[in-house]
């Protein structure tokens, strides 16, 4: 329950202090504790029709939450930056139609109150994993927070960032492994599934996996999704776009709805027999 | 079937040239093509009794081959370097008792003819992945070769090293992902399971996974073993030692025989329902 | 002037668009264009006496600006977080006594107006290199910005972050290489001096080097300081603390004032004969 | 003199056991101890005229040894593999004309006796840094060995590889930093100049730097050469080719003889005033 026998600097995030796995409630749903969360949706919300239509398909195929970016952190100031509040409104309309809770990224403290009017889970992106003012700000809320691992963050640093949120009073933290930066160029990032058993060992917080960003190439996403669940992850977050080739961002890593449907069937086949065993696992 | 659309420099290793998956025959066994290979055994052969006893247990619990190091590549010239030919003799005796084929590392071209008298699969270790004279030498044999990925080798470089062996006339190459070097220190290496679907896509060669070296901590090995198989790997290579705390090398990453037994039962439960689907996968 | 022949996504930061090196004015001083900037001071401002005393010594030994952290980004929420505005006041008092301009980090957009009342150069730390709202906010100011490279940022991504600032109208960007994250554990980070000629080639912006964070061990800082200047850097930023063993943060990488004095003499000896040549360099 | 206070596993390579810097003699020349070694030449020996002509120019411009590959470790079995013994003969002829000692790589133990008839310094390449049989074999010789750092070798592992050579009885080891593998793609590798002061601190062995492989782009080589010497390196190894665009390997990182000449003048200007100080440095 520690790395190389050292006492960890995180306290509230530590499994030693809190032996039972944390279950984060999002509406009527649970993340962690044996539930199998599948968050799906396009990288960016592009327009009202797109997000409502894809949400309906995702719901039908078994997704448990809807993702979609309204504020996009882009390497270039000249790239599409997202629809902003308008995008959040469309997401809320998709929720009305489908009942799927909404996960969306917020980068800016001043947007938090407005964003909280629309979204169910606040995503902190990899680039902001050590944006401490932002972590403290979401720590003062009660909304669940999906905390992505930074591109070159050690697992210990990631848990320390969770600690920032927990220490402000918000216990509803969901960790998300999304790939780390290595020398390998065949994949966009290196999805680090080792993080799944390590986090389960060190912490009580639920952990989900983002194979879309982790491997970055759609045809490798199904294999890594199955692997993540077999490793013990509490769920997945997946990019699904009705027409990946025309996506305004990250098309090359997006599944089509049909591919998502097929993956969900494979997941069902994989996880049904191992579900009780996975639920009981601490590592 | 290529990385970022570039024509690869490997030819014989390429899936385009050879669409059917290669099945490597080791005695009566098959590696690849839907078979589930489980190679297990201690890091080092330490004495005759140890290896025979552990081989019998491994056989009983379902291992399909026996591993054990006789020539050990150690960072320090002052560390235990293995029993040499004596170790190979003990391995051969364990095979006699159990019928398990033998996998063992060779580092030195001049040891090859002697080693071939004892072993069934020649392992090329991570440190020698680009030792081209050694690759050419095993390429002139017919024995199956287990080619481990170098610590900082890209997948493309790894396939190029396989090409060295194939181009000399030996088609019996089994790839083995064993963890890459990254900034993360919570694990010994970063087991890169992304390599499994990528290799399946680019190449027809079978790929197995070594979670023992990949993650380096025994309690994380079962989760990563299950993940590797769910990702589509053709098998596993695992360190199992009757008394890990007294092992002469790599004890901290070795399972006990009892833990191995338990893992094999979990593997059975996981893979039975997905086996037909995995066998049919190309990615 | 491009990486592997690709047209870069940055425009305003590009050397092609702006062949002459940018010189950033900080009061009467110049950064870039042949000037040799030496920013020095403690990691954290700890109290009024400390910062004034060390500033006087640094001035005497040849530093051209004073650094000191008032808002500290710390991995742990339980570590010393800096003195906040009080620390900035002490820095301003040190400036009054010595005339040295002040460089200090700001992490939080809402602190910017207040911080601008005290400091001369706003530092954006490595963890915030892709905090786009913060980059845009400092881009709307006229104050010089010291933009540190992220721990795992490529040089191209770093220039894209500079572009965020430039594209909002603030041309006064100073880049700062401070070490990247690699597998090497003998040093805290891997100071990437290759970035110096690469940045000089791709961009017109001045670049300084932070060997204190880059190598992380005080006794290696002088060698890397000399190397940075020989590579063509426009200056250095160095941690100097009157009593490193008692420093509230980063003591192990801080020089004493006496060591700083000695280093300044070595720098003088090194740079005097090569100064005209370095000033003329584009790579 | 140790990494994080741990007792190192290397003994003979340790500065504690051997406080004085080792000076390796190559003919009448010295490597280490204040001498400034400059080894230059083409990546591959391509033909007799090429190597003799370039050797004469290099000698004239101040190189102290000649490099050239006769046995080339190439990622692809289909790439040019070097001229073999014929290449060594041409190198020996170039030495006859110029007096420059010869540095060339050997990958294969069985080639060692033959190669020793021609060359003065045996180069062990990065891919073979942990080829222990090869290290032991060159350890049983008396010839100086240039030991390149592996692409992902820690400094400690590199010193352990030196220990393999030293422990067999050959004290004539010259270390060579040649770039490590990181996520950065703007440069071929990341030349890790931090290794220079760290090695000087931990070990008595001389260390030279290979900026040609380290940065991989010719126009960045001069800046990194100057930086390496300012960091305290005992010398450089540089790729120089009469016509880089037509080189059979590594043309993009080769200087022309004219560029080499210019660099040598810049080196002279840089190192003359700091030479006594560098010679006296332990870090």
Chains A and D: how many Cβ contacts under 8 Å? 8
Q: Which of B72, B47, B41 is nearest to B59 (CA)?
A: B41
C-alpha C120/C-alpha D213 separation (Å) is 40
Residue contact A77–C164, C-beta within 8 A: yes
- CA Rg, chain D, in Å? 17
Which chains border D (3 or more CB–CB pairs < 8 Å)?
Answer: A, B, C
The residue of chain C with its CA nearest to that of B189 is C183
C-alpha D267/C-alpha D283 separation (Å) is 20
Residue contact A182–D183, C-beta within 8 A: yes
CB A175 within 8 A of CB C204: no
Centre a 10 Å sphere on the Cβ of residue C84 and count the other Cβ atoms it contains.
15
CB C256 within 8 A of CB C246: no
D269 CB neighbours in chain C (<8 A) are 273-274, 277
User: At B83, is the secondary structure helix, strand, or coil?
Assistant: coil
Q: What is the pLDDT of residue A279?
A: 61
Question: To the nearest whole angstrom, how far is the Cα of A86 from the nearest Cα of chain B?
Answer: 35
Mean pLDDT of C99-118: 97
Question: To the nearest whole angstrom, how far is the Cα of A189 from the nearest Cα of chain D?
Answer: 10
Res. D249: pLDDT tops 90: no
- Residue B237 host element (H or E): strand B235-239
The residue of chain D with its CA nearest to that of B9 is D76
What contacts 24+ positions apart, CB below 8 Å, involve C106-113? C106/C71, C106/C134, C106/C138, C107/A131, C107/A132, C107/A133, C107/C71, C107/C73, C107/C134, C108/A109, C108/A133, C108/C71, C108/C134, C109/A108, C109/A109, C109/A110, C109/C133, C109/C134, C109/C137, C110/A109, C111/C71, C112/C137, C112/C138, C112/C141
CB D181 within 8 A of CB D190: yes
Res. A147: pLDDT tops 80: yes
Q: How far is CA D62 from CA A163, C153, D176, in A?
A: 59, 39, 20
Residue contact A160–C9, C-beta within 8 A: no
Virtual torsion, Cα D80, D81, D85, D87, nearest 10 deg: 40
Res. A281: pLDDT tops 70: no
Query: Out of C76, C133, C151, whose CB is closest to A160?
Result: C76
Question: To the nearest whole angstrom, how far is the Cα of B189 from the nearest Cα of chain C?
Answer: 10
Is the pTM higher than 0.90? The answer reads yes
Phi and psi, residue C227, nearest 5°: -60, -40
Q: Which chain A residues in 70-129 lie under 8 Å from chain B, judged by CB atoms? A: none
Q: How far is CA A28 from CA A23, A39, A101, D180, in A?
A: 12, 15, 9, 50
ipTM > 0.90 (yes/no): yes
Q: Which of A123, A124, A132, A131 is nearest to A102 (CA)?
A: A123
C-alpha D95/C-alpha B50 separation (Å) is 57
User: At D216, is the secondary structure helix, strand, or coil?
Assistant: coil
Return the DSSP state at B6.
Answer: P
Phi and psi, residue C180, nearest 5°: -115, 165
Fold exhibited by the domain B24-274: TIM Barrel (3.20.20)
C182 CB neighbours in chain B (<8 A) are 183
- Residue B66 host element (H or E): strand B65-67
CB B267 within 8 A of CB A272: no
Which CATH number does D24-277 carry? 3.20.20.70
Among A4-18, A53-67, A132-146, name the one with the lowest average pLDDT: A4-18
pLDDT band of residue C279 (cuts 50, 70, 90) is: low
Res. A214: pLDDT tops 70: yes
C-alpha B171/C-alpha B23 separation (Å) is 10
Question: To the nearest whole angstrom, how far is the Cα of A129 from the nearest Cα of chain C?
Answer: 8
**Residue predicted with more confidence, D273 or B150:** B150
Tell me if chain D has a CB within 8 Å of the CB of C3.
Answer: yes
Phi and psi, residue A6, nearest 5°: -80, 145
Return the DSSP state at B191.
Answer: -
Tell me if chain C has a CB within 8 Å of the CB of A281.
Answer: no
CB C141 within 8 A of CB C112: yes
Please give the angle made by the CA atoms of C79, C84 and C88, to the nearest 5 degrees: 130
Residue contact B107–D75, C-beta within 8 A: no
Return the DSSP state at B106.
Answer: -
CB A71 within 8 A of CB A81: yes
Q: Which of C71, C76, C127, C178 is nearest to A128 (CA)?
A: C127
C-alpha B11/C-alpha A156 separation (Å) is 42
- Residue D272 host element (H or E): helix D257-280
* Spatial CB neighbours of A207, under 8 Å, sequence gap ≥ 6: A174, A175, A176, A177, A195, A196, A199, A200, A233, A234
pLDDT tens digits, one per residue of B74-125: 999 999 999 999 999 999 999 999 999 999 999 999 999 999 999 999 999 9
Residue contact C109–A107, C-beta within 8 A: no
pLDDT band of residue A278 (cuts 50, 70, 90) is: low
Q: What is the pLDDT of residue A3?
A: 80
C-alpha C231/C-alpha D177 separation (Å) is 17
Q: How far is CA A249 from CA A85, A126, A213, A242, in A?
A: 18, 16, 12, 13
CATH architecture of the domain covering C24-272:
Alpha-Beta Barrel (3.20)
* Longest Cα separation, chain A: 53
Q: Which of D29, D269, D6 is nearest to D144 (CA)?
A: D29
CB C147 within 8 A of CB C161: yes
Please give the angle made by the CA atoms of B135, B141 and B147, to the nearest 5 degrees: 40
Question: To the nearest whole angstrom, how far is the Cα of D183 from the nearest Cα of chain A?
Answer: 4
pLDDT tens digits, one per residue of C30-86: 999 988 999 999 999 999 999 999 999 999 999 999 999 999 999 999 999 999 999
Q: Which of A130, C185, C128 is nearest to B184 (CA)?
A: C185
Res. C164: pLDDT tops 80: yes
Residue contact A194–B190, C-beta within 8 A: yes
By the 10 Å C-beta count (0-12 exposed, 13-18 middle, 19+ buried), B96 is classed as exposed
CB C206 within 8 A of CB C22: yes
Res. B277: pLDDT tops 80: no
Mean pLDDT of D233-245: 95
The residue of chain A with its CA nearest to that of C165 is A77
pLDDT tens digits, one per residue of B146-170: 999 999 999 999 999 999 999 999 9
Tell me if chain A has a CB within 8 Å of the CB of D185.
Answer: yes
Name which of A179, A183, A189, A192 to mutate to probe chain D: the one with the most chain D Cβ atoms within 10 A of its Cβ.
A183
C-alpha B235/C-alpha B103 separation (Å) is 14
D182 CB neighbours in chain B (<8 A) are none
Q: What is the pLDDT of residue B186?
A: 96
Q: What is the pLDDT of residue A35?
A: 83
By the 10 Å C-beta count (0-12 exposed, 13-18 middle, 19+ buried), A49 is classed as exposed
| Paired residues of D24 in beta bridges | D31
C-alpha D87/C-alpha D80 separation (Å) is 13
Which chains border C (3 or more CB–CB pairs < 8 Å)?
Answer: A, B, D
pLDDT band of residue A274 (cuts 50, 70, 90) is: low
C-alpha D101/C-alpha D66 separation (Å) is 6
Q: Which of D92, D127, D79 is nearest to D106 (CA)?
A: D127
* Spatial CB neighbours of C256, under 8 Å, sequence gap ≥ 6: C240, C241, C242, C243, C244
Q: What is the pLDDT of residue B279?
A: 61
D185 CB neighbours in chain A (<8 A) are 185
Q: Which of D60, D51, D64, D63 is nearest to D94 (CA)?
A: D51
Residue contact A184–B180, C-beta within 8 A: yes
A76 CB neighbours in chain C (<8 A) are 9-10, 160, 163
* Chain Cα centroid distance, residue C231: 16
Q: Which of D60, D38, D48, D29 is nearest to D257 (CA)?
A: D60
Res. C280: pLDDT tops 90: no
pLDDT tens digits, one per residue of A73-118: 999 999 999 999 999 999 999 999 999 999 999 999 999 999 999 9
Percent of chain B scoring above 90 in pLDDT: 88
Mean pLDDT, chain B, whole residue set: 94
- Residue B175 host element (H or E): strand B173-177
C-alpha C135/C-alpha A76 separation (Å) is 12
Return the DSSP state at C253.
Answer: G
Query: Out of B198, B224, B230, whose CB is closest to A186?
Result: B198
C152 CB neighbours in chain D (<8 A) are 183
pLDDT band of residue B136 (cuts 50, 70, 90) is: very high
pLDDT tens digits, one per residue of D107-120: 999 999 999 999 99
Phi and psi, residue B136, nearest 5°: -65, -40
pLDDT tens digits, one per residue of A156-199: 999 999 999 999 999 999 999 999 999 999 999 999 999 999 99
C-alpha B63/C-alpha B94 separation (Å) is 13
Question: To the nearest whole angstrom, how far is the Cα of B254 from the nearest Cα of chain C?
Answer: 24
Q: Which chain A residues in 121-160 lie under 8 Å from chain D, judged by CB atoms? A: 152
* Longest Cα separation, chain D: 53
C-alpha A173/C-alpha A166 separation (Å) is 8
Mean pLDDT of B180-189: 97
Residue contact A154–B214, C-beta within 8 A: no
pLDDT tens digits, one per residue of D169-213: 999 999 999 999 999 999 999 999 999 999 999 999 999 999 999
User: At D173, is the secondary structure helix, strand, or coil?
Assistant: strand
Q: What is the pLDDT of residue A88?
A: 98
CB A251 within 8 A of CB A244: yes
Q: What is the pLDDT of residue B274?
A: 67
CATH superfamily of A24-72+81-271: Aldolase class I (3.20.20.70)
């Amino acid at each position: 329950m520690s790395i190389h026998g050292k006492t960890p600097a995180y306290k509230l995030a530590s499994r030693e202090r809190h032996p039972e796995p944390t279950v984060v409630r999002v509406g009527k749903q649970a993340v962690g504790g044996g539930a199998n969360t599948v968050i799906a949706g396009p990288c960016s919300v592009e327009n009202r029709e797109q997000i409502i239509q894809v949400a309906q398909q995702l719901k039908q195929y078994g997704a448990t939450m809807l993702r979609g970016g309204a504020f996009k952190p882009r390497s270039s100031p000249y790239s599409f930056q997202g629809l902003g509040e308008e995008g959040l409104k469309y997401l809320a309309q998709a929720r009305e139609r489908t009942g799927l809770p909404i996960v969306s990224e917020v980068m800016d403290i001043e947007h938090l109150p407005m964003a909280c009017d629309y979204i169910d889970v606040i995503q902190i992106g990899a680039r902001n994993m050590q944006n401490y003012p932002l972590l403290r700000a979401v720590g003062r809320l009660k909304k669940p927070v999906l905390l992505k691992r930074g591109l070159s963050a050690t697992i210990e640093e990631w848990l320390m960032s969770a600690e920032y949120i927990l220490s402000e009073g918000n216990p509803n933290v969901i960790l998300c492994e999304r790939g780390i930066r290595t020398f390998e160029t065949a994949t966009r990032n290196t999805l680090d599934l080792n993080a799944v058993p390590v986090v389960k060992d060190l912490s009580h917080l639920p952990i989900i996996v983002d194979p879309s960003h982790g491997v970055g190439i759609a045809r490798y996403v199904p294999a890594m999704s199955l692997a993540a669940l077999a490793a013990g992850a509490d769920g997945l977050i997946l990019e699904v776009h009705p027409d990946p080739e025309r996506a305004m961002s990250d098309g090359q890593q997006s599944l089509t709805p049909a591919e998502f449907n097929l993956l969900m069937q494979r997941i069902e086949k994989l996880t049904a027999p191992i579900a009780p065993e996975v639920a009981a696992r601490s590592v």
